[in-house]
Structure 1
Amino acid sequence: MKVLSAFAATTALTLAAGTASAIDLTFVSWGGAYQNSQLKAYVEPYVAEHPDVNVVWDESSDAAVAKLRAMNEAGNLTWDLVDVTVADAMRLCDEGLAMEIDYDTMLAPAPDGTPASEDFGDFLLSDCFIPQIVYSITFGYRNDVAEWNGATPSSVCDVFDTTKFPGKRSMYKGPLYNMEWALLCDGVAKEDIYNVLGTDEGVERAFKKLDTIKDQVVWWTAGAETPQLLADGEVVIGSTYNGRLFSVIAEQNQPVSMLWDAQIYDLDGWIVPTGLPEDRLAAVKDFLYFGTDTQRLADQAKFISYGPARKSSAPLVGKHAELGIEMAPHMPTDPANATNIIMMDFPWWADHRDDLDAKFQAWLAQ
């Protein structure tokens, strides 16, 4: 079994015992509830049918771009399949670090014969990206805060109202999501957010809005942090992935509620690193054909409240595997939850991410 690093070794999960002819694959994901949904919905079923395949997890998706760049420079590719956001997929594709996908030969058609390219449809936003789920970044809040005198947040802009809703907030330690919300709550129309953010004045305007709550923010880098901070009462409102909030609300029964207003849609999916040896590439392709079919993506929704990216999967979404509750109302795409959404501009972020990351870190240090 190959070992990627001390960190990877401590987090690795071997799903099948090795044999003389076994092939080891390293899948990269985000850890937590999302990675568990991948494990249960399609990795465990695949390994059960292919006992010669060992899958090891590396929870480094948040650093995928930088690490794949480093691997490429060193000529030492140790990852086989990487889960990334679509914006990161675009960057990796543009840099030649992700393989282009022939969707209709590499992926299974829908049960009615609809080709994969049509079934995934508009979610095929990069030639190198295989969508899995539609999720959102949104806010959860404590619903038992005495200082709020019975009021509860109803707008994302309530996050910026520390008078009516006092207490610590948790927000992502980066420009993503925060810049959009800051401009929206500073009066910029949704349809103008990225035009404004594309100017120096717009960036400064977003930072000035964030300045109004900066001293009340706990910054997170891992999606599990906000649910824990909310559960512990360390913050009263915080942003994270909607699936993480579902877990703390529905599975842990914490006094937390969802604030769906101005949730920001994003997509997550696989990229295949370029330069894989033929045996590993063949194994990855075989897994992808199995693991991205209609039923597998629907099965993932049994474990986490993310919407499947295939049209044919949506009607098959049922109840939570353990809780027995219907999952459709907990999806970010449910009509009741999607009355006011922000669709992330993925190409825009692919072009501007590195620059704004640097500016955001400089602002944090001020």
Structure 2
Amino acid sequence: MHYRDFIGALVLLAGLGVSSMSLAEPGKLTVVGAGGVLQDAERKAFFEPFAKSSGIAVTEDSYSGQMAKVRAMVASGSVSWDVMQVEQNTLLSGCAEGLFEELDWSKIANRDDFIPEAYSDCGVGAFVWSMVPSYDRSKTADGPQNWADFWDMKKWPGKRGFRQTAKMTLEIALLADGVSPGEVYKVLATKAGQDRAFAKLDRIKGDIIWWTSGAESLERLAAGDVVATATFNGRVTAANASGKNFALIWDGQVYGIDYWGIVKGSSNRENAQKFIAFAASDAAQSAFPQYIAYGVTNKKAIQSIKPELAKDLPTTEENLKSAVGLNTEFWADNGEALEARFATWRAQ
């Protein structure tokens, strides 16, 4: 092709609304998860089967929940991530901030096929996870059985592990202080309730080791750095399947939902929608708990999960008896102030 013909072709394509990026990467997709055993499970249940069935090459990346990189991408218009796994409050705030694309649900799924919490303008519920207390049975025969026990430093001396965030940590502190699951957010919505949560944390502050990734929480437990830790239920089950003997305690679980969202300005938006539709299907979702013990959001998938797997999921009826569902509206309204207070408190 002559140079003038080549330029003419590019001009014609530009006129048709076809970008050079879409020409360069018509069959690619970058999906971002949280790493570790969770992303291993996502690879087996979602990434690899989708790539095989669609012919779209899937590239993986991972992050620890921080959105600074996403903000920089969107602000610069140089977006290299397409689909992200995000927690519910991150999705809601990111959607309002313009960091995620609004979804066309008609191209993804029938929203009535999902539990109500799975639907969002900018995301589709991927799975249900839970924060639970755990200890290493190989080191401690009779460990803490609930959050109140977790604070008993006399009976179980040693360090405690917590995720380095106010969200869920403050709820746990109130549960440990005797607040019933159904009253947690009513109490936490008050200044007195917030003071109560921080006062409870003050009692063990010097014995807390903060973690920033699910993998780190159990690495510290295995190493004996902590006697007990707050951690993700799926991580515990996966570790035990690999030979560990960590306790999985459902009393006082605090559960939330992670979503699939599309980064605003993704050049692979069509492929991203195809991936989310695949990952939301009952076939893909019913396969997911085989690889990690997290609940799913597709109603048909929930019904098809084998009982021996269902018993270790946060969404099982028995496991929900003393559970607290993460109140994302509360954190959307109060998260910035509480996280700022939490950071200041930790630094003191």
Please state which band the TM-score falls in when normalised by the shorter chain: 0.7 to 0.9
Alignment CA distance shift 1:40-1:145 (3 Å):
closer
**Amino acid across the alignment from 2:57:** N
Match of 2:63 in 1: 60
Alignment CA distance shift 1:242-1:144 (3 Å):
same
Alignment CA distance shift 1:337-1:195 (3 Å):
closer
Match of 1:107 in 2: 108
Please say if residues 184 and 193 of structure 1, whose CA atoms lie closer than 8 Å, have aligned partners that are also in contact: yes
Point out the more displaced range, 122-131 or 173-182: 122-131
TM-score when normalising by structure 1: 0.84
Match of 1:16 in 2: none
Please say if residues 86 and 125 of structure 1, whose CA atoms lie closer than 8 Å, have aligned partners that are also in contact: no
- 1:74: how far off? 2.1
- 1:125: how far off? 4.9
Given the alignment, which residue of 148, 153, 158 partners 1:162?
153
- 1:161: how far off? 1.0
Q: Secondary structure at the match of 2:84?
A: strand
Given the alignment, which residue of 185, 188, 211 partners 1:220?
211
Match of 1:15 in 2: none
- 1:244: how far off? 0.4
Please report the RMSD computed on the Cα atoms of aligned residues, expressed in angstroms. Answer: 2.0
User: How many matched pairs?
Assistant: 326
Identify which of structures 1 and 2 has the higher relative contact order when contacts are C-alpha pairs closer than 8 Å and 6+ apart.
2
Segments of structure 2 that go 5 or more residues without pairing to the other structure are: 1-22
Match of 2:38 in 1: 34
Please say if residues 133 and 146 of structure 2, whose CA atoms lie closer than 8 Å, have aligned partners that are also in contact: no
Cα offsets for 1:220-241 (capped at 9, x unmatched): 0000012112222221110111
Alignment CA distance shift 1:74-1:62 (3 Å):
same
Alignment CA distance shift 1:125-1:22 (3 Å):
closer
1:271 matches 2:271:
no
Cα offsets for 1:155-209 (capped at 9, x unmatched): 2211111112222111111101110011222233333322332333322221111
Output the CA distance in 2 between the equivalents of 1:349 and 1:195: 13
1:334 matches 2:325:
no
Cα offsets for 1:56-104 (capped at 9, x unmatched): 22211511x332222222222221001101111111111122222232x
Match of 2:289 in 1: 301
Q: Secondary structure at the match of 2:318?
A: coil
Output the CA distance in 1 between the equivalents of 2:227 and 2:175: 21
Given the alignment, which residue of 258, 272, 276 partners 1:284?
272
Q: Secondary structure at the match of 1:26?
A: strand
TM-score when normalising by structure 2: 0.88
Output the CA distance in 2 between the equivalents of 1:157 and 1:348: 24
In terms of fraction of residues, the more helix-rich structure is 2
Match of 1:124 in 2: 118
Please say if residues 231 and 255 of structure 1, whose CA atoms lie closer than 8 Å, have aligned partners that are also in contact: no
1:256 matches 2:250:
no
Match of 2:303 in 1: 315
Given the alignment, which residue of 164, 188, 194 partners 1:173?
164
Larger radius of gyration: 2
Output the CA distance in 1 between the equivalents of 2:325 and 2:40: 26
Structure-to-structure mapping, 1:1-80, within 5 angstroms: 23-51=27-55, 53-63=56-66, 65-80=67-82
Q: Secondary structure at the match of 1:259?
A: coil
- 1:21: how far off? 6.4
**Amino acid across the alignment from 1:348:** F
Moved over 4 A (4+): 19-22
